[in-house]
Structure 1
Amino acid sequence: MAELVGQSTEAMRVAVESVVGLQVWWLWVWVCMGLVAVSLVLAHVVADLAWGGEGGFLLPWVWLP
């Protein structure tokens, strides 16, 4: 009986570690996607400013009255 309880406890520990590991993995995925999105937006704004624009093509609400 004690062995069964030990196996059950071990199985529960492994399951919890798997879920926590999956959550951490998804957190890293979202962080990386966010960084890529921000860098793409900044690259477009910098390119627009470099070619004489005012950055308004990507951020039009900035120039609204």
Structure 2
Amino acid sequence: MISFLEKSINELESREQLHSTEFESSLMATCYKLRDKKLQNYSIEELRVMIGQNISLTWLIPLALD
């Protein structure tokens, strides 16, 4: 069985990544980029950013508490 840490948020939520070069802010661009990153590779700062934006808290809060 594959651990959820080996997947990205987009994989866990069965969503396709939005591939756009135009975002309203650098924060928005960062969040979209992080949705494709494997959870096991998130840094503390990346967790902070995503949790601060209330993105995928179901997956990120347990990871942050670990």
TM range (shorter): under 0.3
Q: TM-score, normalised by structure 2?
A: 0.26
Q: TM-score, normalised by structure 1?
A: 0.27
- Tell me which of the two structures has the higher relative contact order, counting C-alpha pairs closer than 8 angstroms and 6 or more residues apart: 2
User: Where is the helix percentage greater, Structure 1 or Structure 2?
Assistant: 1
Which protein has the larger Cα radius of gyration, Structure 1 or Structure 2?
1
